[in-house]
Every structure is written in structure tokens, then in C-alpha cells.
Amino acid sequence: MTEKDLEGMTITELAPQIKSRRVSPVELTDLFLKRIQRINPLINAYTTVTEGSAREQAQAAEDEIRRDQYRGPLHGIPVSVKENICIKGVRTTAGSKALAEWVPEHDATIVQRIREAGAVLLGKTNMHEWAAGGTTINPFYGTTRNPWDRSRIAAGSSGGSGAAVATSLCLASLGTDNGGSVRNPASVCGVVGLKPTFGRLSHFGGVDGSGGYSTDHFGILTKTVADCGAVLQATAGFDSKDPRCADEPVPDYSKFVGPPIGGLRIGLIEEYFDSLMVRDVRAAFDNAIEQFKKLGAKIETVRVAHMNLISPVWACITRSENVSAHVPYLKTRPRDYSPGLLRQIVSSMLIPAGTYMTAQRVRRLICEEFDEALSRVDVIVTPTSPMAAPTIEECEQGFVIADGKKISLRDTGVNFRSLGTAPFNVTGHPALTVCCGFTPNDLPIGMQIVGGVFDEGTVLRVAHGYEAATEWHRRAPELLY
């Protein structure tokens, strides 16, 4: 096997080869490490590469497999972990200056679980400072660049994870999603990104202060839907260390990857998203809906009456909840924040408690409306982001011109680019992005599939049905060649 062979490889394809010893985890890890050394300087996806421990883990996997102790589809598979998820003994900064030297003494539960599944941890991926934005233009650890066009952002806050998966610098990455921070990078990098139901994945070992207590979720980025199901299988389930984690049964997700989707009901929320999408995204999304029709799915319109209040509900709740974790840093090292984030944190301290509670009341209405909508359809489908990746320059100037209109990228509430994803951080429904096309200048466009609470299986089924009928996931950025 050569480094070039890694391009296009998936967990699902590699796992049987590892199991049958045709592929060596040691050699595979070595190839990924070489590839990171060559490509990471171009895109800045990784902040820390744990070469030594990765080689040890790969050797351990190889020894076990040689002894017929194969653990499952992640055994010997190289993965990465976002900078705000703890790995024991590895610097975990949350993209901040304040935690630049912090080395946790424990694994996050999902890290522990992915280790137990036999995965090889390659290192930590770059992110937006404290996950408080969606560009991964990080003043302390550099900007992660979009592998499809390096003048553009890889989005965020899990930008390093999206770029790493898209460029085959790992086969899966664990990220966090407080308003779209898994789904947006996955979307603009052309890969799969899943934010499961709130409580499906343990949040133990996430860095406090990088998301709201009730809006932040751990999530998964992979090249394909089947790979995503495999990682979810290994990481989902109750964890007594996290009071937010749900004691819901975890089904066999592999059974959802493959069945046809004919007859399934797909809901569209037309009013809200119609006004958001720029032309290229609209065209790709419309084509995807036509594809669903060809596959035999039934398209219906659903109504969520209070969609217009998503932005204030999300902004009020996530900022109020997040700010308390910053008090110790504000007291001791306030100048370790970038000026913009310091302003946001101080302003968040002035949100009245009554406003927060009112936001939680409106949130209940919105959740009930989505539950009602999802009782009439199997999934809801939306564009993931209303636009493809903007340039780094556009993000820094704070606006983009699209379809002849000036669109602000510095909104007071939800950022324009997260208006498609943040609703499901408010409601907690599972939401997955899958590539549904490209702009004329070859930038990926994502489609979001949203399911009922704890029904990740149907989300995976619909996403896989679409993916299998299209070729988008087979494209790779030219950077690789």
C-alpha cells in the first residue's frame, strides 16, 4: 500500500482487510503520519500529532489481530480528536491561549470508547478559539484552510477535523457541535458530519466553556455514512459520568445502512430555508430532492411556527450557559482572549436571567413543533449551510456578496452560515450532513438530514440511500494530487 492509496479509502473498506491481516495497522498508521507531515503544513488541520503513542497503539492493534483478538471495524483505524475533547496526557487547548499548556489526566468518555474499539489516535485537530465561532481562523494556532480552495475557510469550530477527513489525514474525527460546528465544516469540506441526539454521546471530557451546557453536542466526521454509523456504534451509549447522557438503547446501526428508502416520508420546511439559500446551494438542494423522489421517497411540507425565533433562543441560551465557565479565566487572564471573544463573553454576562428562562420557554414550543412535524414524516431535509465556504478575507471583512446581495457574517444572533444547523442544537434532534453537490467553482455543498429524537438509524438510512445513488462522496480535493 502507498500513501496515494489512502485517498478515497474508508473505514468500511479497510476494516475487512485489517481483520484478514491483508492490511497492517502499523503500516497504515505510518502512511497516515507521513501524509500528515506532507499535507498538514498546507492546511493546518492538526495542532498536535501524537506520533509516538499512535505507533504504540497501532502495534498493539496489530499484535491483538495477529492473536485473533479482532475488536471490530475500528480496530487499527487512524482517527483524530478535536482540541476541546480530552485525551489523557495530550495537550488540550480548546483553541485558546488560556489552556495552551493544559494536559488533562483523563480521557473523554468517547475517546475512551474509541480506544476500546481499537482505534489509533493520531492527534488533535485545530478549532475556532473556544469553539466560539465558525471559521477556525484561530489567532493562536493559525487558520485551518479549506482543502478544496485554500483561500477559503474550512468552517468551524471543528475546522481541523473537517479538513483532516477530507484530505485523508485520518479516517474519522471526533468533534463538537454547539451551533453547527461539526456539520458546517463537514459540509464545506465535502464529508459526512453527524450531530447525534442530545444525550446520545457522553459529553464527559469536553472542555467547559466551549459550548452551552444544553446546546453543545459531541459529533462525528467521516468520509461516508457507513463509516459514521461505525463510529457512532463504538461511541454511543449511557455514561454515568455525564448527567446529560441518556439511558436510551443503542441499536445496531449497520442494519440501517443499506435498506432502500422508497416509501419514506421526507419533510421540507420551506418558508425558513427558502429565504436563506444562495443560488448554488438552492440548485444542489433542489437536485437532491429530485434524487429522493427518484428513490421513491415521498416529499411533504412541514411547518414549524416559531422557526423565526431560533436565532434569539439559541444565542440567549448558549451564551448564558457558556459564560459561567469563563469566570475563572476572566478573573485571572482576561487578556488571553482575542478582543472579539472577550467582548462577546462580557456582553453575555449581562443577559438577564428572566430572558434566559423565556428563551427556554420558547425552546419548548419549538421542540414540540419539531416533534409534531417529525411524527408526520420520517426525516426533515434542509440545506446544511445556506452558502458554500467563504474566503478567509470575506470572513475577516465580515460580509460576503452573494447573488448580488451583501450578507453579514457578523450577526447578533446565529451567524448566517449556521442558520441551517443551529435549530437542531436548540431542539437536540439528530442531524447529519452529506455532500449533495458542488458549486461551479468546485466547492462542496451539504444537505442536512434530521430525524426524530434518538432515531439516528433512520437518519443514517436516508443519508446512505442518497449517498449510494450519487457520486459526490467519491470526489477528493485536488490538493491531494
Which residues bind to other proteins, rule: CB under 8 A? Answer: 197-199, 213-214, 243-244, 246, 248, 306, 308-309, 311-313, 315-316, 330-331, 334-335, 339, 342-344, 346-347, 349-351, 355, 357-365, 367, 371, 374-375, 412-413, 428, 452-455
CB 193 within 8 A of CB 182: yes
Q: Which residues pair with 435 in a beta bridge?
A: 446
Q: Is 124 a catalytic residue?
A: no
For the CB of residue 246, give the shortest distance to other proteins in the complex, in Å: 7
Contacting residues for 322 by C-beta, under 8 A, at least 6 apart: 132, 178, 209, 210, 211, 212, 213, 348
Rounded least distance, CB 474 to other proteins, Å: 34
Instruction: Out of 80, 157, 158, 173, pick the active-site residue.
Output: 157
The nearer residue to other proteins, 19 or 244, going by C-beta atoms, is 244
Taking the least distance from each CB to other proteins, the nearer of 294 and 335 is 335
The verdict on whether 223 is a catalytic residue reads no
Active-site residue flag, 255: no
Judged by beta carbon, residue 367 or residue 468, the one nearer other proteins is: 367
E-assigned strands of 44-90?
A: 46-49, 78-82
Grid coordinates belonging to 186: 463537514
Whole-number Å distance between alpha carbons of 476 and 7: 8
Give the active site residue among 82, 97, 124, 223. Answer: 82
Nearest-approach distance from CB 152 to other proteins, in angstroms: 27
To the nearest whole angstrom, how small is the minimum distance from the Cβ of residue 344 to other proteins?
Answer: 7
How far apart, in whole angstroms, are the C-alpha atoms of residue 98 and residue 93? Answer: 8
Residue closer to other proteins by CB (options 293, 364) is 364
Residue nearer to other proteins on the CB measure, 199 or 437: 199
Shortest approach of other proteins to residue 383 CB, angstroms? 23
Coil, helix or strand at residue 22? coil
In 3-state terms, what secondary structure has residue 44?
Answer: coil
Nearer to other proteins, 103 or 357 (CB): 357
3-state secondary structure of 344: helix
Cα 263 to Cα 254: distance, rounded to the nearest angstrom: 20
**What's the CA gap between 167 and 478, in Å, rounded?**
9
Nearest distance from residue 227's CB to other proteins, in Å? 25
Where b means 16+ CB within 10 Å and e means fewer, 394-419 reads bbeeeebebeeeebebeeebbbbbbb
Q: Please tell me which residue in 24, 168, 173, 181 is annotated as part of the active site.
A: 181
Q: Give all strands (DSSP E) within 360-453, no chain letters.
A: 379-383, 399-402, 405-408, 431-438, 444-451
Catalytic residue ranges: 82, 157, 181
